[in-house]
Amino acid sequence: MEERTLGFLDPSNAVFLRWDFDFEAEIITFELQVRTAGWVGLGVTDRYSRAGSDLVVGGVSPDGNVYFSDQHLVDENTLEEDGSQDAELQGLTEDAVYTTMRFSRPFRSCDPHDQDITSDTVRVLAAYGLDDTPKMDRERTFVKSIFLLQIVHPDDLDAPEDTIIHDLEITDFLIPEDDTTYACTFLPLPIVSKKHHIYKFEPKLVQHKETIVHHILVYACGNASALPTGISDCYGADPAFSLCTQVIVGWAVGGTSYQFPDDVGISIGTPLDPQWIRLEIHYSNFHNLPGLYDSSGIRVYYTAHLRKFDMGVLQLGVFTFPIHFIPPGAESFMSYGLCKTEKFEEMNGAPVPDIQVFGYLLHTHLAGRAIQAVQYRNGTQLRVICKDDAYDFNLQETRDLPYRVVIKPGDELLVECRYQTLDRDSLTFGGPSTINEMCLIFFFYYPRNNVSSCQGYPDIIYVAHELGEEVSDSMEGMMAMSNVEWTPESIKKVEKACKEAQQTVIIKTIDELVENTTGWIQDINPTPRGPCLESSGGKVEPQDKTPAGFRAAPIVLSRASSATLRCLPLAALLFGQGALSWLLATLQSGI
């Protein structure tokens, strides 16, 4: 096991988490190390309440005896032992400094008190005490959103010896005293005499007293584009600062660096490659702080050691403005954006090979609760490509698929976003501000083509008519949404109308060509859950379709057979240091 550590704010309160998993056996192994001589606990919770959280608790008593138990929180403060013990202890030690607990558990046990480990964002709960009486204490309880099921450790990826570093950054930019600012500037890519590949990128952030930089995007520019100079509002009075729409790398709050799989890279240095990019930085200065200067950007790593494939990025989802809206007071509201690939070849100007998707970045704003991308072929749902039913705005990172997904010409791609607006009393519109909304997924794929985005939006005139509003154009349709009295019934009615309405699909290329087509939203078949893992005293949940569907417990990972454990200093990050997400590459080839 290779140990990795980060700096932390308060060493006396450091809580370190390491983990690894067996994807086929569906077993995950955790190692929790806490600077205490008391009890320690690790489990899973949700975004709304600690009640119902699961927590595996252990420690070494003063007489040297080990105690270990699979428990759950009855309420915010009360622990109770599970009737089914689904965690298996692999080691529990205490020395002069640390208590270290290592255990394994199934991704999904049959105990309803155990939260599932899924490919969603998982809110990991860690807690500890100063003695051996397990009792919850807010000052020693931490929650961190983590994407646990990453397939490959970043150290398994190649780091070329001839690596060159190049920074794409804004310089001494005075951040306006506004809630939201989109600052754009145009910068040259590295000038090289022959083809190179960018194989890694990471944010280059200037530290401020609070999180100011919300996201950074790098867009490739067509070589025929006439580009402005200086720094200006990306979507303001000068439309030239919104030129270039093909994203090549992207970072958002909560993410860190990302390294592409060993066989793909962003090509630079050939006549077909972009020479310039648009750097877009979204600042959220909600406290209107004055005098803040920023020089943030993206650092790219490139090499002359070429990879097999040139990669591209395809932006999917709901066309952000002006049609996208979400009613206030919604417990749940779905938005849909359709992409039809049938025009890709025509717009690319050459045959488009099968698109091989290996990674993705999900993006909504504060009201987003879940997001997924679904693939259809010949009118039939093929698969859910990626999803996160526990989306966390503060953890937006590039993630790898467990296998490469093939998108063929003619396939349809549907992005669905679920929002919650119980805390809002007015309409939320699609737009750039953090208090506006977006519904986007960026697919990282190869081989590269010229299509940069493919997004959809519903026929708002149809939607308004379904709500009894008489309108004659899209602008009136959007204005009519402000006349609606929003109740649970009207919210469901407009959600249904938006799904049933014909979608306009807007497809763009790197050279700013735009084509429209139309289509219809198909139903999404839910992904069936697999059988739960056999456990002592566990019961099958009502939603499990096969009551006899227990799986025999596989052999758990041993200390000797375990691969490199992922490592995260939990408390340190919760106290405000940058989050660390381990970077993956995809190993398997898809269907």
Could you tell me the two tokens for 23?
Answer: 């994807």
Q: What is residue 184's three-state secondary structure?
A: strand
- How far is the CA of 140 from the CAs of 35, 54, 66, 372, in angstroms? 11, 16, 21, 34
Residue 75 has, within 13 A of its CA and on its CB side, a CA count of 2
How far is Cα 254 from Cα 250, in angstroms, rounded to an integer?
12
pLDDT confidence of residue 13: 58
**Which entry of 215, 363, 365, 391 is annotated as an active-site residue?**
363
3-state secondary structure of 186: strand
Residue 9 pLDDT: 23
- Cα separation, 35 vs 13, in Å, equals 6
What values do phi and psi take at 158, rounded to 5?
Answer: -75, 140
> Measured on CA atoms in the order 204, 207, 208, 209, is the torsion positive or negative?
positive
Query: Token pair 């190390």 is at which residue?
Result: 33
Q: What pLDDT shows up at residue 209?
A: 64
**3 state SS of 214:** strand
**What pLDDT is recorded for position 10?**
30
Q: What is the pLDDT of residue 571?
A: 40
Residues 57, 39 contacting (CB under 8 angstroms): yes
User: Tokens 């032992």 label which residue?
Assistant: 81
pLDDT value at position 152? 63
Give dist(CA 327, CA 486) in Å, integer: 7
In 3D space, the residue among 385, 309, 375 whose CA is nearest the CA of residue 341 turns out to be 375
What are the two backbone dihedrals, phi and then psi, of residue 406, each rounded to the nearest 5 degrees? -95, 125
Task: Provide the 8-state DSSP code for 478.
Answer: H
Q: Alpha carbon 47 to chain centroid distance?
A: 16
pLDDT of residue 151: 72
Secondary element (H or E) of residue 500: helix 488-500
The residue length of the chain stands at 591
Contact by Cβ (8 Å): 355, 445: yes
What Rg, from alpha-carbon coordinates, does the chain have?
25
Residue 322, pLDDT score:
83
* Interatomic CA distance for residues 162 and 167, integer angstroms: 17
Tokens of 510: 């790197």
- pLDDT (tens digit per residue) in 337-373: 999 999 999 999 999 999 999 999 999 999 999 999 9
Catalytic site includes residue 446? no
Reading the block at residue 242, the tokens are 């919104």
Catalytic residue among 182, 199, 301, 457: 182
Task: Give the per-residue pLDDT at 7.
Answer: 29
Q: End-to-end CA distance of the chain: give it in Å, rounded.
A: 33
Which positions of the chain have pLDDT values less than 50? 1-11, 537-564, 569-591
Closest CA to 294 of 175, 202, 166: 175
Phi, psi of 314, deg, nearest 5:
-115, 125
Q: Any idea of the CA torsion for 393, 399, 402, 406, to the nearest 10 degrees?
A: 100
pLDDT at 537: 43
Give me the long-range contacts of 542-549 (CB less than 8 A, separation at least 24). Answer: none
For residue 267, the model assigns a pLDDT of 96
Alpha helices in 263-368 (DSSP H): 344-348
DSSP 151: S
The pLDDT of residue 95 is: 94
Output the pTM of the full model.
Answer: 0.84
CB atoms closer than 10 angstroms to residue 135: 13
Backbone angle region of 172, left / alpha / beta, with phi > 0 → left and psi within -120 to 50 → alpha: left
Known catalytic residue at 166: no
CB of 531 within 8 A of CB of 268? no
Task: State the residue for tokens 């859910």.
Answer: 384
Q: Give the integer Cα–Cα distance in Å for 387 and 414.
A: 12
228 close to 237: Cβ distance less than 8 angstroms: no
> In sequence order, what E strands does 341-470 have?
355-364, 368-377, 380-388, 399-407, 412-419, 428-429, 439-446, 451-458
Question: Measured between alpha carbons, how far is 107 from 109 in angstroms, rounded to an integer?
Answer: 7
pLDDT in tens, 48-71: 888 889 999 999 999 999 999 999
Q: Tokens at residue 465, please? A: 């008519």
Look up residue 147 and give its DSSP letter: -
460 membership: H or E segment, kind and range:
helix 460-466
